[in-house]
Amino acid sequence: MPRESFARTMVVATCLCVVCSVLVSSATVLLRPKQEANQKRQMQKDILQVTGRYDATVPLADLFQQVETRLVDLAAGDYVDPATIDPAKFDPKAAAKDPALSVAIDRADDLAGITRREKYAPVYLVKGPAGALDQVVLPVRGKGLWSTMYGFLSLESNLQTVHGITFYEHAETPGLGGEIDNPRWQAKWQGKVLFDDQGAPRIEAARGDIDLSQPDAVHQIDALAGATITTRGVTDMIRYWLGRHGFGPFLDKQKGKVR
131 found inside a domain: yes
144 found inside a domain: yes
End-to-end CA distance of the chain: 85
Distance CA 244, CA 151 (A): 19
**Tens digit of pLDDT for each residue in 118-175?**
999 999 999 988 888 999 999 999 999 999 999 999 999 999 999 999 999 999 999 9
Domain count for the chain: 1
Tell me which H or E stretch contains 222.
strand 220-222
13 found inside a domain: no
Distance CA 148, CA 22 (A): 33
212 found inside a domain: yes
Distance CA 196, CA 219 (A): 8
244 within 8 A of 76, measured Cβ to Cβ? no
Tell me which H or E stretch contains 254.
helix 248-258
141 found inside a domain: yes
Distance CA 96, CA 110 (A): 14
Distance CA 92, CA 90 (A): 6
Residue 21's pLDDT is what? 76
| Three-class DSSP category at 121 | strand
Q: Tell me the pTM.
A: 0.86
Residue 3's pLDDT is what? 58
25 found inside a domain: no
Question: Which residue ranges of the chain lie beneath pLDDT 70?
Answer: 1-7, 26-33, 35-36, 257-259
Q: Beta-carbon neighbour count of residue 49 at 10 Å?
A: 17
143 found inside a domain: yes
187 found inside a domain: yes
Q: Which domain holds residue 79?
A: 49-258
